[in-house]
Amino acid sequence: MRVSPDIVNNPASASGEQGENPLPAFSFEMTNYDFGTINSGDEVKYEFKFKNTGNADLIISQVKGSCGCTTPEYTQDPVKPGDEGNIKVTFRSAGMAGQIVKDITILANTQPTTKVLTISGEVIQKNIKEAQ
């Protein structure tokens, strides 16, 4: 189910006050994942798990990585209060070296409307002579 980002135009969440309108809420097990040290060209996958701790259906309308090397997949259906969902992230390190920090930005009908997850680590360039 593809949801339009327009669903996030939530006047109740824009003010920062919940008031009488029920709102969903993210509760993540982790919001930052350090994949450690990997070799350039390796692929890392991680699944960020969350629970809707609010009192309305949580709808994710969009999830974007900070670059083309970071691809997110996410729970497409509304997540009922008390239920769980996930954001699966694949990071491809081809052509990279050094310390890496990549953001994954979630747009949802929560307050605030965006949530940022982070993956980080170090990518080491393989020495061609050592590989032979």
Report the pLDDT value the prediction gives residue 48, as an integer from 0 to 100: 98
Neighbours of 31 (CB within 10 A): 13
Does residue 131 fall inside a structural domain? Answer: no
> Per-residue pLDDT for 13 more than 50?
no
- Would you say 72 and 64 are in contact if contact means Cβ atoms under 8 Å apart? yes
When divided into structural domains, the chain yields a total of 1
Give the residue numbers spanning the domain of 91.
Answer: 5-123
Does residue 130 fall inside a structural domain? Answer: no
> Per-residue pLDDT for 27 more than 70?
yes
Q: Which residue has tokens 């769980």? A: 84
Report the pLDDT value the prediction gives residue 3, as an integer from 0 to 100: 54
Does residue 128 fall inside a structural domain? Answer: no
Could you tell me the CATH number of the domain that includes residue 28?
A: 2.60.40.10
Does residue 129 fall inside a structural domain? Answer: no
> Per-residue pLDDT for 131 more than 50?
no
- Would you say 52 and 83 are in contact if contact means Cβ atoms under 8 Å apart? yes
Calculate the average pLDDT of the chain. Answer: 87
Does residue 82 fall inside a structural domain? Answer: yes
Does residue 20 fall inside a structural domain? Answer: yes
Per-residue pLDDT tens over the stretch 53-111? 999 999 999 999 999 999 999 999 999 999 999 999 999 999 999 999 999 999 999 99
Model pTM score: 0.80
